[in-house]
Amino acid sequence: MALRLTAHPFSAVFLLLLVAVCNITTSTSTSTTAGSSKPPRCCVSFSASYNESVIPCRTCACGCPARSKQQAACSTTTPSMLLPPYALLMPFERRAKEALSWAEEKRLSVPNPMPCGDSCGVSINWHVATDFDGGWSARLTLFSWGDEDMHEWFTAIVMDKAYDGFEQAYSFNATAVGNSTIFIKAREGFNFLLRETNMSGVDYPVPGKLQSVLSFTKKTTPGIDIVAGDGFPSKVFFNGDECAMPLRIPSQSAANRGGIITMLLGLAASALLLLL
């Protein structure tokens, strides 16, 4: 399947996209392809405004860590544990502690041994921010855990059902290029994705971070169901490499459903009082 491209002002980075077209249009998931010798170099996490927990990158998404006698054993097959949103800014060692605390707070099961980290130099969070009658929005956040600044980067998001409704990105340049793919690049002057660094006030290194909100309309995508999964990408690429994707999506939490039911009951009670 060929990717039809239209010219757009992304300068040299557009040439990188041309080189990466084969990866974007013909690759299968490198994290799941049998016999694949090259693990992904990036991974994706999912979150949503209607669920308190983040579905993090998959266990060993970019390869499993080398074990040492000093390190406690971790499981390479146990699914990654749900996280509080703020833990996305923490390195895995600290993130694991937060996952334990979160599991205790939310009464979630804790595997033994704990899952290994994702071992990725770049992680990408896709967060469904709003969902209303006429449209919806998502926030795309890039995290760099490497030791070098990135002066040029691009990402491509494949949106199977929501593609036709894409409107714009607010802090990035974004263009719909065909085949359900949205090509994204930083705006000129704001393209540096900084390396992991120490920050005053915290006792752990934090990643370089860039983010933008993307808006979508529902006028051209009738029947789209964001909560059911239509608002999440099926594939994500970073600098031409296909990223490891989560195996699940956030569900609407019982608390949110309960709030909606309570509101409806309240409205019904008010209407009944008016009739009395």
Q: How many CB atoms lie within 10 A of CB 229?
A: 15
Chain mean position to CA 157: 10
pLDDT, residue 162, reads: 98
Half-sphere exposure of 232 (CA within 13 A, CB side): 22
Residue 3 within a domain: no
Q: Is the per-residue pLDDT at 77 higher than 80? A: yes
Q: Which of 118, 174, 178, 165 is nearest to 143 (CA)?
A: 118
Whether 271 is covered by a domain: the verdict is: yes
pTM across the whole model? 0.81
> What does the pLDDT read at residue 23?
53
Instruction: Using DSSP bridges, classify how beta strands 235-238 and 241-242 pair: parallel, antiparallel or unpaired.
Output: antiparallel
Residue at 5 is within a domain: no
Q: What is the CATH number of the domain that holds 179?
A: 2.60.40.290
State pLDDT tens for residues 123-137.
Answer: 999 999 999 999 999
State the Cα–Cα distance between residues 222 and 118, nearest whole angstrom. Answer: 36
Q: Is there a domain that residue 54 lies in? A: yes
Residue 36: per-residue pLDDT:
54
The confidence score (pLDDT) of residue 5 equals 44
Q: 3-class SS at 107?
A: coil
pLDDT digits over 151-187, tens only? 899 999 999 999 999 999 999 999 999 999 999 999 9
User: Which of 119, 118, 187, 196 is closest to 153 using CA atoms?
Assistant: 187
Spatial contact of 75 and 115, defined as CB atoms under 8 Å apart: yes
Position 194 scores a pLDDT of: 87
Q: Which domain holds residue 54?
A: 11-65+74-275
Q: Residue 1 domain-assigned?
A: no
Q: Would you give the DSSP letter of residue 196?
A: P
Residue at 115 is within a domain? yes
In a domain, 247, yes or no: yes
Structural domains counted in the chain: 1
- Looking at residue 203, its pLDDT comes to 86
